[in-house]
Chain A
Amino acid sequence: MGCIESLSYEVVLQGASFKECREYIRANCREYRIVEPGFKIFEKPIIGIPPISIGLDGDTITFPFTKPCYGTFLLRVDDSEEAERIRREGKPG
């Protein structure tokens, strides 16, 4: 699973700032973990301004995804293994 574009994802926010994505996760996800830039999600290093928050609702992961020309998207993907790994390796928020 090397490419986020190939995943089945839902776009939660589009054209938001990185800060707005972080605030959305903290306000709307049941739990969140804090990770460093470069932490891999679906095998891809995450881009962002520390502290980077990743939201978890059961097996659902909510995370920022940044592209140079399109800014930051907040994406939501269901994946139990990846959610468990993030829960285990991230720092509790």
Chain B
Amino acid sequence: MTSGQGAAGKTAVLVLGCPQVPVQTGIALYLMSQLRKRGISSTIAGNRAARLLIEVSDPERHYISEVMDLDRYIADLADKKRQFDYHFVFIHNDAGVSYAATVQALTQKTVIALIYGEHFQDVAGEIEFPCEKVMAKAVHNPMPLKNKLDEVLPWVVSNL
């Protein structure tokens, strides 16, 4: 298994959901750090609260580069104004599944669905479109999802 060095120069977007589940912000920052190590630049797309949580958590912008509004991101995909190599979609509710389905339909790419929260298995069961699922019961403790991410990220950045 390679560490994904061949992915250098590629771009990723992290599509944040509602920040009501605490692990989201920590996992997003961790994922950005891992992508940066592989030379992949990350953009954050989220609603105002989700974006602010990320920006307040990384005030010196060690990991954050571009941050954009979620509606703008979807509109840019629909209008073919933006493209990314990887789309990581954070999902813990029905709305998250809807956003991931929309991203997959607009890009025709395999999205990486990070599924977490108390009811992660029920939420994962709603997904019928092609995607790579990274899932764990993680609400307050990010480690189960972080460990899953560590397992699959090398494969994801090398193969998608």
Residues of A within 8 A of B (CB): 17-19, 36-38, 40, 44-50, 66-72
CA distance A68 to B18 in the complex (A): 5
On chain A, the residues within 8 Å of B47 by CB distance are: 67-69
Residue of A nearest to B128 (CB): A49
CB distance from B27 to the nearest CB of A (A): 16
Interface size on B, residues (CB 8 A): 28
On chain B, the residues within 8 Å of A50 by CB distance are: 101, 105, 129
Interface residues of B in 68-114 (CB under 8 A from A): 70-71, 74-75, 77-78, 93-99, 101-102, 105-106
Given A37-B105, A38-B105, A50-B101, CB of A44 within 8 Å of CB of B95 = no
- Structural contact, B94 and A71, CB atoms closer than 8 A: yes
Given A18-B98, A44-B71, A45-B74, CB of A68 within 8 Å of CB of B105 = no
**In the complex, B138 has a CB within 8 A of chain A:** no
CB distance from B13 to the nearest CB of A (A): 15
On chain A, the residues within 8 Å of B74 by CB distance are: 38, 45, 47
CB distance from A42 to the nearest CB of B (A): 13
Between B93, B98, B106, the greatest number of chain A beta carbons within 10 A of the residue's beta carbon is seen for: B98
